[in-house]
C-alpha cells in the first residue's frame, strides 16, 4: 500500500490551507472523474446481452467483459497508491483519466468479444487509478477534521452513477441512432472536462519519498487470480472439471500463491502487508468481504440476462426493473450509516445484513421466467437491503481496529478481497449459468418433438446468446424458461457464500467506534509504529 505523510499536504509544507471554495473547485474535477469511472462499470450492465449478441459471443465472453475490468482494477489499485508517493498526484489522476478514455474509445470500436475484453482491461486500469487517487488527493487537500463533510460528495457521486448507469445504458442501447457503442463513448466528454478542471483548480505540493514499488507481488497475485479465473470460466465446457487441465491450473494457482506469500513476507513495502492478518478483525473482515463480493456482483451482473432473456424486457425496462434492489441498497446503507454514527454500534447491522443477503439470494433462487414481478421486486429489495448493511460496514469495523498508521493498508486489504470475490464469483457463476442454460435448453427442445427440436437447433446454433426477436415462438418459450431457471440457479448457488459471510461476521468482536477527531488522530500518531513500517511514515 502507498506510504504517505501523516499530515495533509497543506500542513506538510507549511502553506495556507485551502478555502472551502478552492476545495470545491478542485473536488469538482475529481468527482467528475469518479463519476465516469463508476459509470463505466454500471452503464453496460443492461447493454451486455445486446453487445454479446451483436459480437457473436457466448456466456464466457459475457462474464469476462465484466471480470476483466474487475481484475485489472483490483490488481492495479495498490500500485497507483504507491506511485502517488513518487510523482505528482495531479499528474497521476490525469494519466488515469487518459488511460480510461483510451480504453473506452477502443471498446466502443471493438469488432469482437476478444478485443472488447482487452479494452475493458485498459478501462479497469484507469478505474483503479481513479478509485485509489480520489481518497489520497482528498487527504492531501483536506484536514482530517473537515474531511467527513466532503466525503459525502463521493458517496453521492457513487450512488448517482450506480443508480443512473443501468438506466442510461438501457436508453442508449434502445435508441436507434445511438446504439450500445455509445455506452463506452458517452463518458469521454466528461472525462475531458475533468482533465481541464483538474488542470486549472488542483494545486497540491509534490512530496516525494523513496518508496520501492512491489512489482513482483503485484505480478504474482495478478497471475494467480487470472489463472484461477481462466479455470473456472472454461471448466465443464472446454474440458472436464476433473481433467489434467484442471490439475495443471489449480496447481499453478497454488504455486503462484505460495511464491506470492514468500515474496510479500520479505518485501519492505508489500502490496498486501501480511502482518495485518495477525489482527483477527482484519482477517475475518477480509474473508467476509470475499464472500460478500460474490453475492454483491451476482446481484448486479446477472439480473440483466434474467429480465432481457427470460422475461423479454428491453434494456431500458431491464434497468427500471432492477430499481428495487438499488433502492434497498441505497436506503439501508444510508440509514445504517447514520444510526451507527449516532450509537457507535455496528455488529448488529452486519449480522442483519448477512441474514438479509442470504435470505434474498435464497428467495431469488426460486424465481422462474413467469414469476410475478412484484415477487421478484420484493426479493431484490431484500437482497439490496442486506448488501447495503454489509458492504461498507465491513470496511468500517476494520478501520476502527487499527491505528492511523495502518488505516489505509487495512482498508485497501478488505476492499481488495471484495473485488477479488466479485471477479471470481462473476467468472464461476457465469460458467455455471452457461452450463445450466445449455442443459435446460436441451431438455426443452426434446420435449418439443423432432420438428421443434430441429428449429431449436437452428436458432441456437453457434453457442452464443440468442436474439429472442429472431427465434420462433415454441423455441423462444424454451429459451426464456431456460434462462429463468439458470439465473435462479446462480442466485441459489450464491446463497451459501452469503451464509459463510454471516458466519464469519459472527466471530468478529464488536468494539465501539472511536471518534475520528483531530485529538484521536494525534493519539494515533503517538502510538508505536507497527512492525515493518519506516519511522515517520504510514501506510495508506
Interacting residues of 90 by C-beta distance below 8 A, sequence separation 6+: 137, 198, 199, 202, 204
Around Cβ 323, how many Cβ atoms within 10 Å? 17
- Are 313 and 440 a contacting pair, CB within 8 Å? no
Half-sphere exposure of 165 (CA within 13 A, CB side): 25
> Going residue by residue through the chain (540 aa), what tens digit of pLDDT does each one get?
333 333 434 443 444 566 777 777 778 888 888 888 878 877 887 788 888 888 887 767 877 887 788 778 877 777 776 677 667 788 888 999 999 999 999 999 988 888 999 999 999 899 888 877 776 777 667 654 454 456 556 655 765 676 677 778 888 888 888 888 998 998 899 889 888 888 888 777 665 556 667 788 878 887 887 788 778 767 766 777 788 888 999 999 999 999 999 998 888 777 777 887 888 888 898 889 888 888 777 666 788 788 888 888 887 788 788 888 878 877 887 787 777 767 777 888 889 999 999 999 999 999 998 899 999 999 999 998 888 888 777 877 776 776 655 655 666 677 778 877 877 787 788 878 888 888 888 888 877 776 666 655 555 555 556 667 677 777 788 888 888 999 999 999 999 999 999 999 998 887 776 554 333 444 333 333 333 333 333 333
d(CA 217, CA 223) in angstroms, rounded, equals: 10
- Tell me what pLDDT residue 457 has: 59
- Are 166 and 380 a contacting pair, CB within 8 Å? no
**H or E element in which residue 241 lies:** none
What is the reported pTM?
Answer: 0.74
Cell matching residue 51: 453487445
**H or E element in which residue 106 lies:** helix 89-108
User: Quick one: which of 225, 341, 246 has its CA closest to 290?
Assistant: 225
- Are 85 and 211 a contacting pair, CB within 8 Å? yes
**Strand 538-539 with 3-4, pairing:** antiparallel
- Tell me what pLDDT residue 254 has: 93
d(CA 38, CA 33) in angstroms, rounded, equals: 9
d(CA 361, CA 386) in angstroms, rounded, equals: 10
Using DSSP's 3-state secondary structure scheme, residue 239 falls into strand
- Tell me what pLDDT residue 358 has: 93
Interacting residues of 352 by C-beta distance below 8 A, sequence separation 6+: 386, 389
- Tell me what pLDDT residue 540 has: 36
Amino acid at each position: 500500500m502507498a506510504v504517505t505523510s501523516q499530515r495533509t499536504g497543506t500542513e506538510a509544507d507549511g502553506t495556507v490551507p485551502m478555502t472551502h471554495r478552492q476545495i470545491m473547485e478542485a473536488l469538482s474535477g475529481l468527482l467528475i472523474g469518479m463519476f465516469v469511472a463508476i459509470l463505466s462499470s454500471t452503464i453496460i450492465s443492461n447493454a451486455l446481452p445486446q453487445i454479446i449478441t451483436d459480437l457473436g459471443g457466448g456466456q464466457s465472453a459475457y462474464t469476462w467483459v465484466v471480470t476483466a475490468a474487475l481484475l485489472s482494477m483490483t490488481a492495479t489499485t495498490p500500485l497507483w497508491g504507491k506511485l502517488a508517493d513518487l510523482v505528482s498526484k495531479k499528474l497521476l489522476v490525469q494519466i488515469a483519466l487518459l488511460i480510461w478514455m483510451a480504453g473506452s474509445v477502443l471498446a466502443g470500436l471493438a469488432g469482437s468479444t476478444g478485443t472488447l475484453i482487452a479494452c475493458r482491461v485498459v478501462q479497469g486500469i484507469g478505474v483503479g487509478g481513479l478509485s485509489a487517487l480520489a481518497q489520497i488527493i482528498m487527504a492531501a487537500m483536506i484536514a482530517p477534521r473537515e474531511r467527513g463533510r466532503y466525503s459525502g460528495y463521493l458517496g453521492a457521486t457513487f450512488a448517482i452513477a450506480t443508480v443512473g448507469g443501468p438506466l442510461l445504458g438501457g436508453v442508449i442501447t434502445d435508441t436507434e441512432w445511438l446504439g450500445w457503442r455509445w455506452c463506452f463513448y458517452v463518458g469521454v466528454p466528461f472525462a475531458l472536462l475533468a482533465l481541464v478542471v483538474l488542470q486549472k483548480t488542483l494545486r497540491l505540493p509534490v512530496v516525494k519519498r523513496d518508496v520501492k514499488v512491489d512489482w513482483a507481488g503485484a505480478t504474482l497475485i495478478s497471475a494467480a487470480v487470472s489463472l484461477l479465473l481462466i479455470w473456472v470460466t472454461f471448466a465443464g465446457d472446454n474440458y472436464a472439471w476433473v481433467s489434467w487441465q484442471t490439475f495443471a491450473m489449480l496447481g499453478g494457482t497454488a504455486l503462484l500463491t505460495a511464491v506470492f506469500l514468500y515474496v510479500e513476507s520479505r518485501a519492505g513495502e508489500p502490496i498486501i502487508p501480511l502482518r495485518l492478518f495477525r489482527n483477527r478483525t482484519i482477517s475475518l473482515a477480509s474473508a467476509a468481504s470475499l464472500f460478500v463480493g460474490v453475492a454483491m456482483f451476482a446481484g448486479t451482473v446477472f439480473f440483466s440476462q434474467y429480465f432481457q432473456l427470460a422475461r423479454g424486457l428491453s434494456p431500458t425496462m431491464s434497468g427500471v426493473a432492477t430499481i428495487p434492489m438499488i433502492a434497498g441498497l441505497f436506503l439501508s446503507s444510508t440509514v445504517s450509516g447514520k444510526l451507527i454514527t449516532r450509537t457507535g454500534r455496528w455488529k448488529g447491522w452486519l449480522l442483519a445484513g448477512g441474514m438479509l443477503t442470504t435470505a434474498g439470494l435464497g428467495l431469488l433462487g426460486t424465481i422462474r421466467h413467469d414469476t410475478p414481478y412484484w415477487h421478484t421486486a420484493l426479493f431484490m429489495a431484500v437482497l439490496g437491503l442486506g448488501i447495503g448493511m454489509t458492504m461498507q460496514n465491513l470496511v468500517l469495523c476494520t478501520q476502527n481496529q487499527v491505528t492511523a498508521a495502518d488505516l489505509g493498508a487495512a482498508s485497501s486489504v478488505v476492499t481488495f478481497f471484495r473485488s477479488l470475490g466479485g471477479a471470481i464469483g462473476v467468472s464461476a457463476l457465469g460458467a455455471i449459468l452457461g452450463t445450466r442454460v445449455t442443459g435446460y435448453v436441451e431438455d426443452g427442445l426434446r420435449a418439443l418433438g423432432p420438428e421443434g427440436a430441429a428449429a431449436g437447433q437452428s436458432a441456437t446454433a453457434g453457442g452464443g446468446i440468442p436474439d429472442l426477436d429472431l427465434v420462433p415462438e415454441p423455441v423462444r418459450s424454451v429459451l426464456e424458461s431456460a434462462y429463468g431457471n439458470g439465473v435462479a440457479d446462480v442466485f441459489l448457488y450464491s446463497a451459501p457464500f452469503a451464509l459463510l459471510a454471516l458466519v464469519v461476521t459472527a466471530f468478529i468482536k464488536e468494539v465501539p467506534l472511536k471518534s475520528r477527531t483531530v485529538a484521536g488522530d494525534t493519539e494515533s500518531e503517538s502510538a508505536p509504529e507497527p512492525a515493518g513500517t519506516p519511522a515517520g511514515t504510514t501506510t495508506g
